[in-house]
Structures are given as C-alpha cells and as structure tokens.
Amino acid sequence: MNPGSRSANLEVAPRSRGPKHGFSKARSRSSREGFPDSKPRGEFSRDSVPHADPKLISSPQREDRNPSYRRKSRQYNAVDERPGKWSEERSPQGPHETRERRFGEGYRDGNRHLDRQERPQTHDQPRPRFRNDIPVVTEFSESNTTTTKQGSSELAAQFTSPPLMPGILSCLTDILGPHATPTPIQSLSLKWLLNDSAQVNPEAGWKQFLLASETGSGKSIAYLLPVLQNLKQAELDTAASPRSPLTTSSGPKRALNPRALILAPTHELSRQLAGFAKSLLHEVKLRVLCASRANMKSTKERDSTARQMVAQFDASLGNTGEFELKERSGFPVDVVVGTPMKLLEMVKGRGWDRKEISKEEEAEESELDNFGKPRRGRDKMVGFGKWRSQPEMGLANVEWVVVDEADVLFDPDFQETTRQLLADISLARGHPVPLPTPVLSQSSAVTTPASVPTPLDYPFNLILTSATIPSALATYLDTYHPKLMRLASPNLHHLPKTLQTEYVNWTGGNKLADIERRIRRVWAEDASMAGATNGDDGRSLSKVLIFCNKSSKVDELGTYLQERGIKNIALSSTSDQRKRGSNHHLDGFLRVRETGTKDSEDAANVNTSPTTPEPIINSDPKSSPHVMITTSLLSRGLDFSPSIRHVFIVDEPRNMIDFLHRAGRAGRAGERGKVVVFGKMKGRGSAKAKDVRKKVGSLVSH
C-alpha cells in the first residue's frame, strides 16, 4: 500500500504521462484511419471539468461556466420524457420486473428472473415509479481516494514487470502488438494481483479485488493475466502430484471441476470472454470452457450434459489436439465461463430452483402457468424428479472467481443467483458462508435488516469488475466486502477520452427518418474522408450501433431501415438469432482477431494484431449489414469492432450508468468514436431533457 494512501483499500492509478488513454498503438491506428478530429457539436469543453472527482460528475455548475453549453442548450433540448413514456417498461410485477427492464431487456441468459419479463403482463395494477437517475457513485470520493504520487513509480509501465510467463506474454504480444503498454487498470492489476508479495489478506491468503475503470479500458486483460498465470503456476507447482480434479475429498465426483469461474451477465459476453481467454493460452495450454446453454448444437437443451458440452468444445477446436483430455473419466477444464444461472444449473442440476409440488398440485398446475396461460417448453416441466437433471460440475477446486459486470450481477435482482453460486463454492470448499437474506436496495439502506450483516470471507480469490459503481453496488461492497481492495482508473465514470459526443435534434417529423438521415450522413462523411485521404472508393464505410429502449422500437426501426435499403441486424432479448448457439448473430460487429484461428461455436474470437488494420470486408451497406439495432442487452462488456465508430442513442437514456455502457461500445481501446444522442429540442419535457444533456456532458473526459 502506498505510504500516502488515505484509504487502506483503495488505489487509483495515477494519470498517465504518456498517451492520454493508455492505448498508444491503437490510437495511432485510429489516427491513420483519419477519424475527424474536430470537436463535435454539443460537446462540453473538457477544460471546464475539474479533475476526476466523481462527485462532480453531475456538477450543476459546468454548463453555467460554459458558453458553449448556453448556446447549444438553445439548440438542443435533448429528449422527451412525458409522464408515462416508459409505461411499457414499468411492470405490474413489482420492482423485480421493473429493474429487469431497466437493465436492458433483462439479460435472459439462463437466469430465471429474467425470463419473467417475457410472461404476459396485466395492466390493471398501479405502476411503480421509476427512479430515473441512479447516482453514479460517490464512492470514489476525494476522502477515500489515493492519488498515488509515490505509488506511480511502483506501477507497471510494461507487461514484463512483474514478469508474465513467456507463453502468456507472447500471446499477449500477438494480440496487442509489441509496443502495447498496460492501461492504468492493468498496471494496478499487475501490481496487486500478479505480484504475489502484494497479499491483501495474508492470514486468509484469499484476495478480494474490485477493478473499476471506464469502458474499453482493458479490464478483461487486467483480470485474465493474473488469473491465468496463477492457475498455470499452481499447476506447475503441483506437477509432482498431478492435478486430479476427480479426487477431491469434498462433494461428489463431477465431470467438470474447474479451478476458476468467470461470471458474465449474457452468453454473448461469456463467449467473447472465453474466446479471449483462449487466445492468451495458445502456449501455456490451460483449458477454457464456455458454459453457454446456447453453445449446444442440439436443440434439446435438456439433453445436454457437461460431457457433451466438452465433446462439442473439443470438436470446435478442430481436433488440433491442443487440449488433450488427461483422464478418460474426467475433463480437466481449468476455467469455466458462463452466466451465474447456467453455472448453478451445472452445479445443482437443471431444475434445482423449481419448487416441489404434490401430485394434486401438479395435475392442477401442469397445464396452466401463473398467468393462466398454457405452459410451454421448460415451464411445462413440473414435479421433482421429472425434470431435474444430475449435477455436472463440482466446485471444490475453484480458487478464482471473476464477476464481470459486477454491478449487474450484484444488482438486487440478480445478486440472489450470484451469491447462491458463491455460497455453493464456499460450501464445496469446506468453508460455508452465510447466504445473506436481505437484498440491498438502490438507496444506501438495507431493506430488511434482519440482523447485522456479516462480511463475506469467501474461501477463494474474488475479482469484481465494472465500468460503473452504482450506489447499490457501493453499499453492497461496503456491507459485505469491507476488506475488498478497490482499484480504479482515473477516468472511471467518464466516457473514454477518444469518444466524442454529439447531440442531434429531432426535426419534429418522422423520427425514424431523422435516424436514417444521420446514418447516411455518417457514410457520406466516411466516403469523403476516405476519398480525401487515399482515394478509397468508400470501402471504409463504418458501422453504426443503435440503442433503443424497447424491443418493439428495435423491430420498428429495423424494418423501416430495411425498407429503405439499409441492411441491418435488429437484435433484442427475444430475437431468435440469440438462440442459435454462437455469436454469429454479431458477426461483422464484434472485434475480430487475425491469427487464422477459426471463430468456433463457443466464442473463440481469434487474435488480431493491432499492427494490421482490421480488414473491411464487404463494405457496401446495401449488401452487408452496417447497422445493428439493439437494446441494453448488448451494452455490457462486449468488445465491438473498431469499425463501429458511431453509437446512436435514440431513446432517452434510462440513467447515466446505462448511458455510459451503451456509449462505451465505441471509442474502445483508444479508437476514436462518437456517441450521437438524439433529442427533442422544444416542447414538453425540455427541462428533463436539459438535465439529461447536462449529465451526459458531465461524463465527458477531460
């Protein structure tokens, strides 16, 4: 810990003196691509923003000081928020339902809560009011933030200090290029997680960390490097007594006994993370499995077992022999990536969360669901024993757990599942922890303080990552993880520095036509830029990612653009493409890596060398989709291609957290990007619209 620390467990990386964003290589590439440097309309002057005190994120003084804002505020009134505008997002099912909606169509990934939103809703009950604005953390305030002047010298400026294993380092170099340097959050992670001497909890030996940094700042590498290196090192250390997952004393034998779990809110993100982890392991050969239900080629998901999953996983590797089965009876998978609900299903057996009912009840209930509708699919399976499958995964070997997008997975609606899994791991490892009953509310209070909550000391290393720390997560961490070491980048809770902001006014006519016009303008600018720089005939037309609040709007906009010759992919939680068992529905939009490795069914994104600009394949928007329309479903964690240089926010952001994540799908890894916020300039709701704009402005990096 730095001598100058005011807080015992929080460190913020010092501001880099090098490239502003810590992505030197990527930045030079984006410069080559000639992204316009001019300051966009509606952007606040970065100079007017005081340095990195997150408390000032919503500073009301900013626009007063900024003449640009006063001028622009006459032009843009941002967005309409008439009472009842969000009525479709409000749910008669109570706060659970409401929050599922608010977090973007719910992340329906094997998470039972999330399926509820798909059920028919009645509209005769009072609708709960939304809290429009979840404050973007006051947690990292000056009072407990260390600016680490002394600490800066201790932070890694290279990936070689502290040393990475040669195999991991060479894969990392393949991915990022030879000149890549760690981003601030990676420097912190290398210092605190990789360096064994930096034990935070020496008595217990288990580490608890939060990695918090803005979108696209490399949090995946920040946690993957220490986790993978540690796993490999442990394997080497026990080489004399070979690892034998099936011989653990506690718990029954399982096909899978991973040593690390990575939890993510969607299976799309799980696949991408699994693929990324694999790309770091070509040489050190640890085995990563993405436990995504949709991975299975079989449509009968009930028939899928861990054994089948591993078999398919092997098949997807093309029989390269890269990951050999070490024991005929077992599958030495080291890392399993998946949604908490999917992993729980593998641990407890599918159907573990269904209630047991009597035969009479069964007869009564089997035909109709709670809403009186005929049961279909999985919901039809009632009655213990008929639908419950055998557990497939053991947890006794788990020594590392990463909770990616921790603010979602510890959100009051999802934390029950996440914490159940963490408690199960603890139990399997012989150190049960209490499963706390109270769920923390959004406010800083505990809703049902049955007893004084006891801090959770899990018997494994726990890493939480997030680009945003809502107050609910801050409260949760304060309550249950007081010893957790918080590592934060200085740009936390701001938009990436390379992301510009632009406001577009609705013309007052057809909003869909306004959106179409703005898309065409993007391509016109691209074409003229390409023409001006290298005579390119428009091959470098960029792609546009559009976020709506509702599935119905996604479909409507998709159809409208399609009819006007703009091919697009409209994707919401209910889209059939999501069920196909791969990330192919995101093809052309996710970042592609160029090592020749096949993008396998279970998410293996291949490596890319940043020295080679990403190829623009079939860049005609008439023949291949250049527009993706979606909801917040795809706003979390996904590493979108640098060819997405524009994110359109066409519906009023539900809160600034959601906004940061949506906007952050562009401007990643030092690439230039632009977030275009559509809004209504005049008429009702202008006060709130100004408020939205003010808040967005205060997220701009300085």
Ligand X SMILES: Nc1ncnc2c1ncn2[C@@H]1O[C@H](COP(=O)(O)OP(=O)(O)OP(=O)(O)O)[C@@H](O)[C@H]1O
Choose the stretch contacting ligand X; rule: CB under 6 A; options: 67-75, 317-325, 389-397, 664-672: 664-672
Closer to ligand X at the Cβ: 548 or 590? 590
Query: Strands 10-12, 208-212: parallel, antiparallel or unpaired by DSSP?
Result: unpaired
Q: Which is nearer to ligand X, 117 or 635 (CB)?
A: 635
**Torsions phi, psi for 644 (to 5 deg):** -85, 100
Window contacting ligand X (CB under 6 A); options: 149-157, 212-220, 321-329, 449-457: 212-220
Of the residues 26, 309, 604, 650, which one makes contact with ligand X according to CB under 6 A: 26
> Bridge partners of 368?
374
Please, what is the minimum distance in Å from the beta carbon of residue 591 to ligand X? 5
CA distance 540 to 161: 38
- The nearer residue to ligand X, 21 or 72, going by C-beta atoms, is 21
* CB closer to ligand X, 184 vs 581: 184
**Total residues at the site for ligand X (CB under 6 A)?**
24
Q: Where are the beta strands (DSSP E) in 248-339?
A: 260-263, 288-290, 335-338
Task: Give yes or no for residue 639 binding ligand X (CB under 6 A).
Answer: yes
Minimum CB distance to ligand X, residue 574 (Å): 24
Per DSSP, 545 falls in state E
Closer to ligand X at the Cβ: 263 or 561? Answer: 263
- Beta bridge pairs of residue 485: 209
Sole binder of ligand X in the list 116, 342, 493, 668 (CB under 6 A) = 668
Radius of gyration (C-alpha) of the chain in whole angstroms: 25
Q: Quick one: which of 48, 77, 189, 217 contacts ligand X (CB under 6 A)?
A: 217
CA angle (453, 424, 340) in 5-degree steps: 95
CA dihedral over 499, 501, 507, 508, signed as positive or negative:
positive
The footprint of ligand X on residues 574-603 (CB under 6 A) is 591
User: Closer CB to ligand X, residue 81 or residue 214?
Assistant: 214
168 binds ligand X (CB under 6 A): no
645 binds ligand X (CB under 6 A): no
Residue tagged 């499958």 (tokens) = 389
Q: Which residue is nearest to ligand X (CB)?
A: 218
CA–CA gap between residue 110 and residue 591 (Å, rounded): 25
Which one of residues 664, 673, 679, 685 is an interface residue with ligand X (CB under 6 A)? Answer: 664
Phi, psi of 166 (to 5 degrees): -55, -40
The verdict on 637 binding ligand X (CB under 6 A) reads: yes
Identified binder of ligand X from the candidate list 155, 221, 337, 627, rule CB under 6 A: 221
- Whether omega for the bond prior to residue 92 falls within 30 degrees of 0, making it cis, is no
For the chain, give percent helix, strand, coil, nearest 5.
35, 10, 55
Stretch that binds ligand X, among 211-219, 328-336, 360-368, 414-422 (CB under 6 A): 211-219
Q: Which stretch binds ligand X (CB under 6 A): 173-181, 478-486, 491-499, 566-574?
A: 173-181
Residues in the chain: 702
Shortest CA distance to 317 belongs to which of 351, 356, 288?
288
C-alpha dihedral (84, 90, 94, 100), degrees to nearest 10: -150
Joined together, the tokens standing for residue 457 give 């000391």
Exposure b/e, 240-252, CB count within 10 A at least 16 = b: eeebebbebeebe
Q: Which is nearer to ligand X, 280 or 548 (CB)?
A: 280
Check residue 183 for interaction with ligand X (CB under 6 A): yes
Identify which of residues 507 and 611 has a Cβ nearer to ligand X in the complex: 611
**Cα 62–Cα 85–Cα 682 angle in degrees, nearest 5:** 50
Select from 58, 84, 101, 87 the least CA-distant residue to 684. 84
Residue from the set 66, 187, 215, 292 that interacts with ligand X by CB under 6 A? 215
d(CA 699, CA 58): 8
* Rounded-to-integer distance, Cα 633 and Cα 109, Å: 10
Q: Does 674 bind ligand X (CB under 6 A)?
A: no
Considering only CA atoms, which of 590, 640, 649 is closest in space to residue 104? 649
The correct pick among 180, 190, 194, 677 for binding ligand X (CB under 6 A) is 180
User: Is 23 near ligand X (CB under 6 A)?
Assistant: yes
Shorter beta-carbon distance to ligand X: residue 391 or 470: 470
Min dist CB 593 to ligand X, Å, is: 8
The answer to whether 225 contacts ligand X (rule: CB under 6 A) is: no
Q: Supply the minimum distance, in Å, between the C-beta of residue 269 and ligand X.
A: 8
669 near ligand X, rule: CB under 6 A? yes
The residue among 90 and 493 lying less far from ligand X, judged by its C-beta, is 493
Evaluate whether 576 touches 567 at the Cβ level (below 8 Å).
no
Rule CB under 6 A: which of 127-166 touch ligand X?
A: none
Q: Scan for tokens 């830029």, then name that residue.
A: 529
Unique residue bearing structure tokens 């706003």: 635
80 contributes a contact to ligand X by CB under 6 A: no
Name which of residues 467 to 496 contact ligand X (CB under 6 A).
467
CB of 216 to ligand X, least distance (A): 5
Q: Which is nearer to ligand X, 420 or 655 (CB)?
A: 655
Binds ligand X (CB under 6 A): choice among 62, 113, 116, 219: 219
Q: Is 191 in the site for ligand X (CB under 6 A)?
A: no
Helix (H) or strand (E) holding 492: none
User: Could you say whether residue 412 binds ligand X (CB under 6 A)?
Assistant: no
Q: Does 187 bind ligand X (CB under 6 A)?
A: no
CB 189 → ligand X: shortest distance, Å? 11
Contact range with ligand X by CB under 6 A, out of 64-72, 180-188, 239-247, 545-553: 180-188
The minimum distance between CB 330 and ligand X, in angstroms, equals 31
Retrieve residue 162's tokens: 């502290």
Q: With CB under 6 A as the contact rule, which of the stretches 174-182, 230-238, 387-395, 498-506 interacts with ligand X?
A: 174-182
Pull the structure tokens for residue 47. Answer: 């100079």
Starting at the earlier edge strand, list the strands of the sheet with 499-505: 499-505, 673-679, 644-649, 543-547, 627-630, 568-571
Q: Which of 167, 216, 459, 653 binds ligand X (CB under 6 A)?
A: 216
Draw the binding track, 235-264, toward ligand X (x: CB under 6 A; -: no contact). Answer: ------------------------------
Q: Of 179-187, 194-202, 504-512, 579-587, which segment contacts ligand X by CB under 6 A? A: 179-187
Q: Which is nearer to ligand X, 30 or 186 (CB)?
A: 186
N-terminal to C-terminal alpha carbon distance within the chain: 28
What is the layout of strands, in order, in the sheet containing 400-403? 10-12, 485-488, 208-212, 461-466, 400-403, 260-263, 335-338, 288-290
Q: Measured from the CB atom, is 218 or 330 closer to ligand X? A: 218
d(CA 671, CA 307): 41
The span of 18-26, 147-155, 524-532, 577-585 binding ligand X (CB under 6 A) equals 18-26
Is residue 425 a contact partner of residue 206, using CB atoms and an 8 Å limit? no
Q: Identify which of 413, 381, 377, 379 has the alpha carbon closest to the alpha carbon of residue 104.
A: 413
Choose which of 148, 186, 442, 632 interacts with ligand X (CB under 6 A).
186
Decide: is 55 part of the binding site for ligand X (CB under 6 A): no
Q: Which residues contact 678 (CB under 8 A, 6 or more apart)?
A: 79, 503, 504, 505, 506, 511, 514, 515, 518, 648, 649, 650
Binding of ligand X by 291 (CB under 6 A): no
Residues that bind ligand X (CB under 6 A): 23, 25-26, 175-176, 180, 182-183, 186, 213, 215-221, 467, 591, 637, 639, 664, 668-669
